[in-house]
Amino acid sequence: MEEAQRRALRRGRARLVAALRVAPLWEPLERRGLFTRPMVEEMQSAGSRGDQARQLVIDLETRGKRAFPLFLSILRDTGQGDLADMLMQECGHLPAPPQLGDLRPVELDLRGEKYNKSSAVDKRNRDLVYELKSDPCGRCLILNNVNFSRDSDLSTRDGSDVDCEKLEKRFKALSFDVLTRRDLPAQKMVSELQELARQDHSALDCCVVVILSHGCQTSHIQFPGGVYGTDGKAIPVEKIVNYFNGSHCPSLRGKPKLFFIQACGGEQRDRGFVVDGDSPGDEAPGGSLESDTTPFQTPAGNVDQPDAVASLPTPSDILVSYSTFPGFVSWRDASSGSWYVETLDSVLEQYARSEDLLNMLLRVANAVSAKGRYKQIPGCFNFLRKKFFFRCK
């Protein structure tokens, strides 16, 4: 398939997912040799009609030079000529690729905004950027635990509401449909996460989960750390992430799934090391400065058990951003919120229009690492396949 045809399919994917009637297509797709029967059955097992449509459009790109014109012909034969016309129009509007000798800067219209080669990506690696075209671009769930039961021996997380309010405003400004839940026990947290994963995301382009809570170390295979419900029961981050993988949430297959965790990774306090030149500020953690740490505990109860090894597929299109290095304390100020969220919000405000997510997370790590006498450095586990740019309003 020609590159112009592939790009036409990608540009038209949102409309195809929303409108394509797949049931009449399976027989002619097989009869005309585009797909074998096992291939058709695999696409039919993708989930809802929208999920099947999305998988069909993705798989079409792998079916050779005849795939695009044959698909258009089948669309017209099944009374879906308007979609065929849309794809032809998208194909005709695509710019010709630059010649090898053309070294002039080019501009890419990405998310409705223009970026030149030096500030973002050029059109030759457009395929390495996630497309965010839907409005809203995705759902954002924020779980904000502030008050914990007496039996949990966990302190009130003063300042967390400040974090929550900042992130609510920020992700709304980034074109997300934001839902916030406050002070949930572990099983209620699990229920909210599972409910989000069960929803149909076919017409959306991504998903965000934010968790603000106390944290701890847990046994894990892929993603370290755990977060506490208000009842003092821990949920492994690994379990949270796997609710949204391709096996459990088919409508998010191939789409970026972003997790932001403001919680301690353990109880170690990092005093840092001396560096040459100007030293970072000597702000001592005291007064209203608190941590979100609790000692390591073996998970108890079925809500806390990590998934079995055999049920963990290879993660893809997933990024988990942690407020601190596994095993270490994450600092929070009672009046201004956590170092991590305060910095993340500021960086998103300044750079979301021009930089991709990974570059912004480097800025967050650099800024947070310079704070305080006790040190903290955020990090992430990145399994994204492409660059991620937020879509700013």
Active site residues: 214, 264
Q: Looking at residue 379, what DSSP letter applies? A: E
The sign of the CA dihedral 252, 253, 256, 262 is positive
Please provide residue 324's backbone torsions phi and psi, each rounded to the nearest 5 degrees.
Answer: -155, 165
Q: What 3-state class would DSSP assign to 393? A: coil
Structure token digits, residue 45: 């097992």
Q: Is 61 exposed, middle or buried (0-12, 13-18, 19+ CB in 10 A)?
A: middle
Residue with tokens 């992700």: 171
Distance CA 151, CA 169 (A): 33
Beta bridge partner(s), residue 331:
291
Distance CA 9, CA 3 (A): 10
Structure token digits, residue 173: 């400004």
Q: CA 371: distance to chain centroid?
A: 27
Please provide residue 108's backbone torsions phi and psi, each rounded to the nearest 5 degrees.
Answer: -120, 125
Peptide bond connecting 236 to the previous residue in cis, omega within 30 degrees of 0: no
Name 310's Cβ contacts closer than 8 Å, sequence gap at least 6. Answer: none
Beta bridge partner(s), residue 178:
140
